[in-house]
Amino acid sequence: MNSLKLSLFLILSCSFATFAEKVLSENLYTFFSIFNGYYSNKVQRVVDELDAEVEDEHDGISVIWRPVEIAAFPDNWTLYLEQSVNGVINRMNILIYSEDEFGVIHGQVLNVKQPIDYKPKQYEYADLTNVELESPTPQPECEVLFTWLEKNVIVGSYPDCISKNNRRTPAPYSFTVTCQTFTAFVCSPSTFEIFARLPYIFYKKRRYELPAQWTEGINFTVPCNF
């Protein structure tokens, strides 16, 4: 009888531990709430054409950062990234996020296998759940890092996970994220995007809801009055 009670206790303990590990922290909840959406630098492109004194030029870029549950990684916090440069798909990634004891947010990058004739923004949420990956293993040299500058302001770096020559060099992209915008400074002239003196400036055009399973049972304050 005692043996049966012990076995039952261990089963319940393990089940509770597994559930606890999947609870979204307030830090990650705020991060995903702010840094998600469909973004474009269309406004900046207009300024580039009008401001002859600066003589700066930026590619036309749209970016999707969408929290999504991936069937292959049910115990992880995952986000879909899609970047189009001048109408051409440049990046399709799944990022697996975690945070360390100091509140720094780490992202591991997985490449999505791009379907033939895929058009920007074609994937719906249901498509992303079972999206096909080039490899289920993250690239070891491609870790994304974010930390907090102040309330609702995030800074971070993003490595070049496309060019094999750049993976071991310092991260060529530097980010600052606010409630409605993010900027990306291209720190290297060897990236796919045009190297510009001013950072790329993106405005949020659409915001996505977090997956319902992530927010079930939590009661955090929604940032930025979303």
pLDDT tens column, 130-146: 999 999 888 777 899 99
| pTM for the model | 0.86
Judge contact between 133 and 144, C-beta under 8 A. no
pLDDT in tens, 23-55: 899 999 999 999 999 999 999 999 999 998 888
**Which pairing describes strands 88-99 and 153-158: parallel, antiparallel, or unpaired?**
unpaired
**pLDDT score recorded for residue 185:** 94
**pLDDT score recorded for residue 169:** 58
Judge contact between 11 and 19, C-beta under 8 A. no
Q: Which two tokens stand for residue 61?
A: 């870029």
Residue spans of the chain under pLDDT 70: 1-21, 162-170
